[in-house]
Amino acid sequence: MSMKLFTQYNRVLLLIGFFGLLVIGSLFYQTLSYYLNKQIDNYLLEELLEVQDYDHKMNIHPAPILFKDLVIEYRKVEKFRNIKIFADTVFFNPKKQITESARYLKTGVKLQDGPYNVTIITSKVESQNQVMTILLVIIIPVLVLLLILLVINRLLMRRLWDPFRQLLENIKSFNLNKERPYETISTPILEFQELNNAILDISLKVRSDFQEIKLFTENASHEMMTPLAVINAKLDTLLQSNTLGKEESDTLIDLYRATSRLTKLNQSLLLLVKIDNDLMGEKETVDLMELIEDSIVYFRELIQERDLTVFKNFQAVSVFGSRQLLEIMVNNLFSNAIRHNYEGGSISIILSHEALIFRNTSNQPELDESVFDRFSKGRDSEGTGLGLSILRQISSKHGMRLTYEFKRGDHCFIVTFKPEVSPGSLK
């Protein structure tokens, strides 16, 4: 799961602060409770001395004492044991009529009439209240301080990371095809200055390399087109000559076909480069239904020649993009549906607000996803193997998705206008 750096940093900081506060609070509580217990133990020892002093002066041991928060109990024993035991307990306070936590001292004493075990119990409620009060007095300001530091840290980090966000925006808006250079930012932070300078250097180098590749591609294409045109013209002249024998004519026909394929390959590669680099002119609002109708008129003779039936189901749909590229996409889809059909077959064209579908009958088996790879073609195909790759590239450039399905023996090519929305099952 993706997470912003600042969010991750705050989460770690909060977890560390939370567990740190728990540990420190627990240690502080234990330490404070220990020292308060020591005070109570000293108080119990003082009460024990008063019992012994009373017995020494009055020659009798005092009666069992029951004050508000103090209980003294005696039990006569046969053998004296001078062992002092301090521990926590709970006792029922008869004055308050409630059960309270307490601390007691149990030890042996020698009174006038023999050895006794004396138990002195005192309530810890007041001490515990003191501990909680001290804990709250310290913890609450610490929590407030942590919250204040968190808010200050958030505001400070947001301000410190503003140059980074501006860098990202500038990188996203940078376009090689536009003359506007990469926009630098002004920041006092050294690390962001270094990052900004590095991006500027990379953008200059990328723009320079891009211009060189673009110029080379254009020049290479034009230079190749000239000799190819000359070769085609010479071959046409030779083919029209009556002085050639059958063997020479067959050889020239093979050369003519190879040259034509080379010309198409050069044109396709040049088109791919232009598509990849957004060199196909300005974008506009294009009426797809009008494009398809024009395409039907363009292929009318070929449709009649092969006795094909065209079924249409159109909705008025307009898209924003390059008219030239959309014409290429529609014409190529139509051309494929005609070329890979059989005599007397049918072509169904469905245009909706979700997708454009070309469906044609065919004797060919189902295709696999590799048909969209560059230079991928069937054994009997005379194409360049770039047609469907170009179509997928065009659809991707317009935010669409081109897919293939095989339904009831028909080949279906689907251009989905909103890739996140499925056009539904084909009938």
| Rg of the chain on CA atoms, in Å | 46
Query: Is residue 224 over pLDDT 60?
Result: yes
pLDDT in tens, 322-349: 888 888 889 889 988 998 899 999 999 9
pLDDT for 425 equals 47
Question: Are 400 and 419 contacting, i.e. CB atoms less than 8 angstroms apart?
Answer: yes
Strands (E), 124-274: none
Query: Is residue 311 over pLDDT 90?
Result: yes
pLDDT: which is higher, 134 or 266: 134
Q: Which two tokens stand for residue 125?
A: 């409620």
For the chain, which residues make up each domain, given as ranges? Answer: 5-156, 192-276, 284-416
Find where tokens 């000799």 sit: 227
The number of helices, as runs of H, and strands, as runs of E, in the chain is 9, 12
The gap between the terminal CA atoms of the chain, to the nearest Å, is 38
Grade residue 350 by pLDDT with cuts at 50, 70 and 90: very high
Q: Which two tokens stand for residue 285?
A: 């609002």
Put simply, whether the predicted model's pTM sits higher than 0.75 gets the answer no
Classify domain 284-416 by CATH architecture.
Answer: 2-Layer Sandwich (3.30)
pLDDT for 3 equals 56
pLDDT: which is higher, 18 or 54: 18
Query: What percentage of the chain exceeds 90 in pLDDT?
Result: 9
Work out the average pLDDT over 172-194.
77
CB burial of residue 357 (10 Å; 0-12, 13-18, 19+): buried
- Sign of the C-alpha dihedral computed for residues 377, 383, 385 and 386 taken in this order: negative
What CA–CA distance (Å, rounded) separates 384 from 272?
13
For β-strands 85-93 and 114-123, DSSP reports them as: unpaired
DSSP 111-143: ETTEEEEEEEEEE-HHHHHHHHHHHHHHHHHHH
What CA–CA distance (Å, rounded) separates 292 from 326?
10
Residue 281 identity = G
Question: Are 88 and 124 contacting, i.e. CB atoms less than 8 angstroms apart?
Answer: yes
For β-strands 65-66 and 410-416, DSSP reports them as: unpaired
Q: Which two tokens stand for residue 167?
A: 């860098």
Grade residue 80 by pLDDT with cuts at 50, 70 and 90: confident
Length of the chain: 427
pLDDT for 69 equals 67
Q: What is the CATH number of domain 192-276?
A: 1.20.58
Query: What percentage of the chain exceeds 70 in pLDDT?
Result: 81
Q: Which two tokens stand for residue 405?
A: 């399905």
What CA–CA distance (Å, rounded) separates 327 from 294?
9
